[in-house]
Chain A
């Protein structure tokens, strides 16, 4: 029982700290699961991140389900997944009624948000860089990434992004 409570608390902390996209979350998950709680060895953690990155869905949620399952079976995986989502829901629920609705068109907030919107763009550039520098190791990789980028731009709106991902997977089978 204590294990499940600990699992829930840990992933709630991860949920609160999960900020700015999956790549940013990884060190936090590592700190909580490997360094602090010692539920998994570092090697297992690396395996989880590899799988979490290659499987659909947000990385924080993937790693929660995965770790939860390893630590506490099916119940553990359900608890960890819910725990990682819960802070978002609570915060948004609170902010939603209190702030977002009331001040959505507040002049000061709109001005602040216009700057923050550019901050999100910086974050996407950063994610592109940190993800790209891990995933791209040789010219061939770069070529595939470029091809997927061009396909998305040329067929914007006509071609579903998943088709591009699957196509690159098939190219991967042929060339690697």
Chain B
């Protein structure tokens, strides 16, 4: 990990100075361009932050998703908080969280106030239906990328299946899935001794 010894409260030197406006704008775009909720948001966040702007590498990004998911609240908001904090400290996290919420807020008010009559039109619903199907592709893409990166050993496959059983089949609260896989990983994953 590149950022191994860096304090989270300090901005990371390697990426240079980031203006609050650019952080806000990035998260505003992410908020505006994601349909389908927090996890569907991850590919877009990764695209903007890891691939395009190179503010962070994939390993750190995945570790952050992990923390964001493990903590109560909307994943996208947690993620914005953590990323904003890593990028620019307190100011960064405030603009990142606001940037993430604002698009939802504006869009919903706009729709409730102006657009809801148009939801009757066939063309509008067909467009939105097409968009919502694309989200399935996006979630599949997220699973693919994430699997490719994290399913390296057979123990990982077993942990993943345990997680799916706990969350999907036993229908338990997702926190138990995370705790279960966490304990399994703690006990059975191959760890470098140090």
Q: For residue A70, which residues in chain B have a CB less than 8 angstroms away from its CB? A: 112
Give the docked Cα–Cα distance between A112 and B103 (Å): 35
Q: For residue A20, which residues in chain B have a CB less than 8 angstroms away from its CB? A: 69, 75, 167, 173-175, 177-178
Q: For residue A145, which residues in chain B have a CB less than 8 angstroms away from its CB? A: 133-134, 136-137, 140
The proximity string for B residues 165-194 relative to A, scoring 1 for CB distances below 8 Å and 0 otherwise, is: 011100001110111111111100101001
For this complex, into which size category does the number of interface residues on chain A fall?
A: 35 or more
Size of the B side of the interface (Cβ < 8 Å), in residues, is 104
Q: For residue B97, which residues in chain A have a CB less than 8 angstroms away from its CB? A: 85, 89
Give the docked Cα–Cα distance between A85 and B99 (Å): 13
- Give A119-176 interface residues, CB cut-off 8 Å to B: 119-129, 131-132, 135-136, 141, 144-153, 156-157, 160-162, 164-173, 175-176
Contact of A65 with B108 in the complex, beta carbons under 8 Å: yes
Contact of A161 with B33 in the complex, beta carbons under 8 Å: yes
- Which of A1-9, A32-40, A101-109 is near enough to bind chain B? A101-109
Q: For residue A131, which residues in chain B have a CB less than 8 angstroms away from its CB? A: 36, 40, 135-136, 139
Contact of B8 with A96 in the complex, beta carbons under 8 Å: yes
Given A135-B135, A165-B138, CB of A114 within 8 Å of CB of B123: no
Give the docked Cα–Cα distance between A81 and B103 (Å): 12
Q: For residue A176, which residues in chain B have a CB less than 8 angstroms away from its CB? A: 125-126, 129-130
Given A114-B191, A128-B143, A129-B168, CB of A58 within 8 Å of CB of B76: yes
Given A107-B194, A122-B167, A168-B131, CB of A58 within 8 Å of CB of B189: no
Give the docked Cα–Cα distance between A62 and B104 (Å): 6
Give the docked Cα–Cα distance between A169 and B126 (Å): 7
Contact of A123 with B132 in the complex, beta carbons under 8 Å: no
Measured CB to CB, the residues of B under 8 A from A are 4-5, 7-9, 31-44, 47, 51-52, 62-63, 65-67, 69-78, 81-82, 85, 97, 100-101, 103-105, 107-109, 111-112, 119, 123, 125-147, 150-151, 156, 159-164, 166-168, 173-175, 177-186, 189, 191, 194
Measured CB to CB, the residues of A under 8 A from B are 15-25, 51-62, 65-66, 69-70, 74, 77, 81, 84-85, 87-89, 91-92, 95-96, 100-101, 104-105, 107-108, 111-129, 131-132, 135-136, 141, 144-153, 156-157, 160-162, 164-173, 175-176
What are some 22 contacts across the A-B interface (CB < 8 A)? A15-B74, A20-B177, A21-B37, A53-B36, A59-B38, A65-B104, A89-B81, A111-B189, A112-B185, A118-B163, A119-B182, A124-B39, A131-B135, A136-B133, A144-B130, A148-B137, A150-B137, A151-B137, A152-B43, A156-B145, A160-B44, A162-B34
